[in-house]
Amino acid sequence: MAWVAALVAGLLFGSGLLLSRMCDPQRVLGFLDVAGAWNPALALTMGGAILVAAPAFWWARRRHETVLGAVITLPDRFKFDSALFGGSAIFGLGWGLSGICPGPGLLLLTAGSTRAIVFVAGMIAGFYALSGLRRAKATS
């Protein structure tokens, strides 16, 4: 049941990225280009997503369990540190450069273009670079 739900959740999420054209880099860059020909459409996408997800999170904060009775552990909401801001800034650099964030990057893979492949490969290399750096720091 939980696994079927994960598949359904992915299908909904992926259909939404496709319908909103969030996986079109030029549309994302148009949204980020506030000083140029700004295209605010993706603000509606984010607003629509929050409108639907917020009641689910409200339930999760009150009940702390899933509809199947398993415990829900929500992330810390008040932890501010340099990793949060530094990491988010680095992500912003990459996102502003290409207009591609992780979900859309995976969708673009289905078209099989070289640039989609190198984006996702770069992303995975970034995961390993960070965990390698953290290991080196822990052992030094």
Angle between the N-to-C axes of helices 25-32 and 41-63, in degrees from 0 to 180, rounded to the nearest 10 = 90
136 binds other proteins (CB under 8 A): no
Contacts of residue 44, Cβ cutoff 8 Å, sequence gap at least 6: none
What one-letter code names the amino acid at 51?
Answer: L
Distance CA 110, CA 21 (A): 15
- Kindly state the smallest distance separating residue 136's Cβ from other proteins, in Å: 14
6 binds other proteins (CB under 8 A): yes
102 binds other proteins (CB under 8 A): yes
135 binds other proteins (CB under 8 A): no
Interaction residues for other proteins, span 7-46 (CB under 8 A): 7-26, 29, 32-36, 41-42, 44-46
Cβ nearer to other proteins, comparing 75 with 139? 75
Interaction residues for other proteins, span 52-71 (CB under 8 A): 52-57, 59-61, 65-68, 70-71
Q: Are 103 and 17 in contact (CB under 8 A)?
A: yes
What one-letter code names the amino acid at 66?
Answer: T
- Kindly state the smallest distance separating residue 104's Cβ from other proteins, in Å: 9
2 binds other proteins (CB under 8 A): yes
Which residue, among 104, 81, 95, has the nearest Cα to 126 in the 3D structure?
95
Partners of 71 in beta bridges: 65
Cβ nearer to other proteins, comparing 78 with 140? 78
